[in-house]
Amino acid sequence: MVNPIPNFARNIWGKWNIQGVVLVSLTMQIVLIFIAPFRKRSRNTLLVSLLWFTYLVADVTADFCVGLISNKYGDKDTAVSTIDDYLRAFWTPFLLLHLGGPDTITAFSLEDNELWLRHMLGLTVQVCLTGYVFLLTLPENTLWIPTALVFMAGVIKFAERTRSLQLASADNFRQSMIQNADPGPNYAKLMEELKSRQEAGLPAQIVTMPEISDQFMEFDELDQIPAKPDDPHTKTPSTDETDGQTDGNNPFKQPQLKEAPNSANSQPDTPRSLPPEEGNSSPQSDFDEKLSDLEVMKGAYDYFNKFKGLVVDMIFSFQERNESRTYLVQRTAVDALRVIEVELNFLYQTFYTKTTIIESWLGLSFRFLSIASVVAALVVFIYEQKRGCEPFDVTVTYILLYGAVSLEVVSIIMFIFSDYSFAVLYSHASQKTSDPDSGTGVAKVTTKLANNFSWVLKLKKPKWTKHKDNKPKWFKNKEYEVLKRFVLFRRWSETISAFNLISHCLQKKKKWWDWVIDKIGVEEFVEKWKYEKKRPMLQKLWIFIFNELKRKSWDAEDVETIQRICSSRGEWVIQEGDLSRKDLNKLMRYVERNEVTFDECLILWHIATDLLFFEDEDEKREKKEGQHENDEKLKKENNDQDLEQGNRDDDDDENGDKEGQNENDEQKKKENNGQDIETGNHDDGEYGRKKENNGEDLKQGNDGDCEYDDTELRHFSKLLSDYMLYLLIMQPSMMSAVRGIGQKRFLDTREEATNFFSKRKSIAAGEMRMKMKEEGEKERKRRLEKRNTMRTRSNWLLYQARVKCEKLGEFIQFIKRVLSGTRFGRILCKEKEENEDSESKMQEACEALASVSVEYEPSAVKGDRSKSLLFDACKLATVINGLKGTNKWKLMAQVWVELLSYAAANCIPITHVQQLSKGGEFLSLVWLLMTHLGLAKQFQIKEGHARAKLVVSEEYEEKKNETKST
């Protein structure tokens, strides 16, 4: 039998296997240290796949190389006596360094943190193997000093990684958040004393007072709490009634406030709308950046340390809630985004890097020792005698040494310029400055360091630029400020994912490879790669969400109200609106939890949003076409008039010419005025619609929002609609708590929509074929008649040339259609990357759905076996179209914000951390924003310890005084 592996390949592997594997291991570490930070900045599937492969292969390569070396020199017949053998033994500790990994990645996913015991076992085994190889070279080893130094550094690095994984595991992280046990006041002792006094005939009673820390607060902090605006829905108490009581927003309440009108028993049936403070009434205030970069770092670091227990379901007090809400409501929307971005970045560093290890003085000491050991090993090896060594082995050793030093230097630079370093420096300087007992020398040094390197933070500041891309196509006629930083300075992907059901049905076609993909279990991955779209992060969308949530935060004064707001899925804003009772009842059945589940609500509103969106697009297109036709008609009439004017006799009187010209000009002006009256209010800015909704816009301006026109609200609704369906279908782990049978409903709806569109398409194709056949028959008859009429040879030759040109034109059009299916063809023909037909197909599909009569309930006609919601959504679109007295797009945008906030508030918190290593999710920003505004279910501690006193009643004291006087 022929040997499948050639001899030269076996010889190369036998001679250079250790050198090659060691260099591959070093290459893996270089790739990891530079590529790992990009996974939080991009959602590129190829990048994540490359990082996943490198992360897994790096550990396997290092383990394999240690095994090769130990196997080669562990044999009794192989003596370890030459300098080359000592060099290879010297390489073994470098593999421990590689197994420790770079600082930028300790875990690829959260599941890796839970396997910290496995890494600890690996640490023990690899240290034993490396020590075994090292001991085999003693006592003749002349390189034992650098070997011991690198061995010590490798053990420290590997231990750092194992410790980081342990601290980031869910159980250990939760345990670190638990404070000392708090038994509370001694209830049993107090009740025993009360009972003993009552048995002795003493009229004793227990008097409770609030916690001391809630009463005696710093007055400057109390002054910073913004006063709650007047509530138009609630009666304002008089001065006499509120004398001695604190404001409703004041967290330091007196006991009398338990009967205040804001209690749960007196909550109104409909939500209350509170306008924000007067200081934020400027429409441009939310666009400003008022916080400095260092203040953003400090604020994010403080609240990260306070609220990082959210990810393990810790609970918090209302005092912490009020402090956080007070901080955030005084910020602009852009500043709030800056703080939340940095806070999420701290979470990423905690769970996926070695930041938690380096932050302590002990960790810094070991890191300094590790770096010093590697540098010392390099210096010793440079001055070591290398006679008799293979030149290539010496070169490999230098590569390993310089590579290890370079990786350490890169890690130090990355740590110095990280958000964590700036936050710690500035927080430390602020504490030293505010503490009069401590020296200010250290504070000055740290402040100066932070200020000198603050230019790095300016590079990371959010950059808002004009949106110039035409993807999606409906953004083409509207300019937005979008978040777009250079990828090297991002803290998350800065995109909003999108998935559309109707577009998916139109694009999905059965192929033979779909069966293979389904069998190997990668269908979800392939569909996500094919159908997930990336949308830009709009500044106005973020401001709209921020103002909506801030408005609701004023209503949340107790646990019950917070629970109601976090559990609202559109009911809150619908009840707030100015709808009639009849319209309210029609719309509430599509959002109430007793009527529809959350996944059902999402699919219904998603399809309805598409139907209404493209219905308005069709109206705008028809208005533009009408405007264009009128302009062309007017232009043609003007040209005809000019032609008539130019053909007049030259002998006409000059004055008569001027009078005729003036008459024509006046007539033209009148026609233009009439045309402007008809179509002037239907331009792209939709001035007429703005005027019609002037009262609504004024109301938005009074609420402190920017003024949003219908086009912007439509775009907000469309973006959030596609994003929420993306979360439901393509991020099942994030929506697992509220998903229900969403996958079943989606598949049934998709199947019904696909059948509906395919039948309509086949009917339309048949009609098109008949029409083309009729036109072809007419064209054939026309050509035959032309040919019969042409008798002369010259006419016949002219006819043949015309036919050839027509055929050539048809052939060119055919080639162009074929090439348009490829990227090269689109570039060659100068066509746009995005398919122009997709928008028109969506338009036609939505028109076909809207044409279906939904007079009867679909479930009553079809039964409930199928969970499809296609025509229920058509009925919802009809209901929304029939609403009176309200702006439907403002209502829909607010409903989508409430659905988004419901998903954020009810999502499992740890899933937000899972997404941070994959580019982050927009939902995580909303989740943290809601938490800072006090709209989270984790705020459950209403009051602190009560100060209970056992006192004797006044009657007993009076009798005692009387007996003493007598």
pLDDT tens, position by position, 340-372: 999 999 999 999 999 989 888 898 999 999 999
Which pLDDT score, from 0 to 100, does residue 915 have?
93
User: What span, in angstroms and rounded, lies between the C-alpha atoms of 215 and 944?
Assistant: 11
If asked whether residues 311 and 450 sit together in one domain, one would say yes
User: What span, in angstroms and rounded, lies between the C-alpha atoms of 154 and 28?
Assistant: 16
Which pLDDT score, from 0 to 100, does residue 630 have?
61
The most confident of the ranges 189-198, 813-822, 888-897 is 888-897
| pLDDT one-digit tens code per residue, 585-621 | 989 999 988 889 999 999 999 999 999 998 876 666 5
Count of domains for the chain: 2
If asked whether residues 348 and 360 sit together in one domain, one would say no
Which pLDDT score, from 0 to 100, does residue 186 have?
79
Which pLDDT score, from 0 to 100, does residue 958 have?
59
Nearest residue to 898 (alpha-carbon basis) of 596, 601, 693: 601
If asked whether residues 345 and 360 sit together in one domain, one would say no
Across 66-75, 77-86, 165-174, 910-919, least confident range: 77-86
**578 inside domain:** no
DSSP string, 792-833: SHHHHHHHHHHHHHHHHHHHHHHHHHHHTTSHHHHHHTT--S
State which residues form the domain around 110: 13-178+356-408
User: What span, in angstroms and rounded, lies between the C-alpha atoms of 459 and 95?
Assistant: 36
Nearest residue to 873 (alpha-carbon basis) of 569, 617, 601, 615: 601
User: What span, in angstroms and rounded, lies between the C-alpha atoms of 306 and 931?
Assistant: 11
Quickly count: other Cβ atoms within 10 Å of residue 778's Cβ: 10
- The better pLDDT of the pair 337, 741 is held by 337
Q: For residue 448, is pLDDT > 50?
A: yes
User: What mean pLDDT value characterizes the chain?
Assistant: 76
**795 inside domain:** no
Q: For residue 301, is pLDDT > 90?
A: yes
Which pLDDT score, from 0 to 100, does residue 224 have?
47
What are 490's two structure tokens?
Answer: 């991002």
Which pLDDT score, from 0 to 100, does residue 242 have?
35
**495 inside domain:** no
Q: For residue 926, is pLDDT > 90?
A: yes
If asked whether residues 299 and 397 sit together in one domain, one would say no
Nearest residue to 495 (alpha-carbon basis) of 965, 44, 30: 44
If asked whether residues 101 and 131 sit together in one domain, one would say yes
Which pLDDT score, from 0 to 100, does residue 270 have?
39
If asked whether residues 430 and 395 sit together in one domain, one would say no
User: What span, in angstroms and rounded, lies between the C-alpha atoms of 143 and 137?
Assistant: 9
Which pLDDT score, from 0 to 100, does residue 367 have?
92
Torsion angle (degrees, nearest 10) of CA 600, 602, 604, 610: -160
If asked whether residues 137 and 172 sit together in one domain, one would say yes
**304 inside domain:** yes
Q: For residue 702, is pLDDT > 70?
A: no
Between strands 464-466 and 481-483, the pairing is antiparallel
If asked whether residues 325 and 401 sit together in one domain, one would say no
**85 inside domain:** yes
If asked whether residues 328 and 373 sit together in one domain, one would say no
C-alpha separations of 264 from 96, 214, 260, 563 in Å: 61, 22, 10, 11
Nearest residue to 429 (alpha-carbon basis) of 339, 294, 292: 294
Which pLDDT score, from 0 to 100, does residue 360 have?
83
**Helical (H) or strand (E) element with 482:** strand 481-483
Confidence of residue 901 (pLDDT cuts 50, 70, 90): very high
Burial class of 165 by CB neighbour count within 10 A (0 to 12, 13 to 18, 19+): buried
Which pLDDT score, from 0 to 100, does residue 176 have?
87
- The better pLDDT of the pair 860, 174 is held by 174
Q: For residue 58, is pLDDT > 50?
A: yes
Quickly count: other Cβ atoms within 10 Å of residue 787's Cβ: 13
Q: For residue 470, is pLDDT > 70?
A: no
If asked whether residues 305 and 387 sit together in one domain, one would say no
Confidence of residue 496 (pLDDT cuts 50, 70, 90): very high
Across 195-199, 414-418, 572-576, least confident range: 195-199
**Helical (H) or strand (E) element with 941:** strand 939-941
User: What angle (nearest 5°) sits at the alpha carbon of residue 94, between those of residues 136 and 381?
Assistant: 80
Contact 603, 869 (CB under 8 A): yes
If asked whether residues 341 and 402 sit together in one domain, one would say no
Chain CA centroid to CA 928, Å: 11
Crossing angle of the two packed helices 45-73 and 116-136, in degrees rounded to 10: 40
Which pLDDT score, from 0 to 100, does residue 192 have?
85
User: What span, in angstroms and rounded, lies between the C-alpha atoms of 724 and 608?
Assistant: 14
| pLDDT one-digit tens code per residue, 239-270 | 333 333 333 333 333 333 333 333 333 333 33
| pLDDT one-digit tens code per residue, 472-489 | 777 777 788 899 899 999
Number of H helices, E strands in the chain: 41, 8
Where is the domain boundary, 408, 426, 452? 408
Q: For residue 403, is pLDDT > 90?
A: yes
- Mean pLDDT to the nearest integer, 127-135: 89
| pLDDT one-digit tens code per residue, 115-124 | 999 999 999 9
Q: For residue 282, is pLDDT > 60?
A: no
- Mean pLDDT to the nearest integer, 811-834: 53
Q: For residue 680, is pLDDT > 50?
A: no
If asked whether residues 167 and 299 sit together in one domain, one would say no
Q: For residue 942, is pLDDT > 80?
A: no
The 3-state secondary structure of 80-130 reads CCCHHHHHHHHHHHHHHHHHHCCCCCCCCCHHHHCCHHHHHHHHHHHHHHH
**960 inside domain:** no
| pLDDT one-digit tens code per residue, 629-674 | 566 666 656 655 554 554 444 444 444 444 444 444 555 444 444 4
Which pLDDT score, from 0 to 100, does residue 6 have?
81
**787 inside domain:** no
- Mean pLDDT to the nearest integer, 205-228: 50
User: What span, in angstroms and rounded, lies between the C-alpha atoms of 261 and 557?
Assistant: 11
C-alpha separations of 739 from 720, 866, 895, 912 in Å: 17, 18, 18, 16
Nearest residue to 369 (alpha-carbon basis) of 416, 408, 425, 397: 408
User: What span, in angstroms and rounded, lies between the C-alpha atoms of 692 and 685?
Assistant: 13
Which pLDDT score, from 0 to 100, does residue 21 have?
93
Q: Please report the beta strands in 165-320, taking only residues with DSSP state E, as ranges in sequence order.
A: 204-209, 316-317
**170 inside domain:** yes
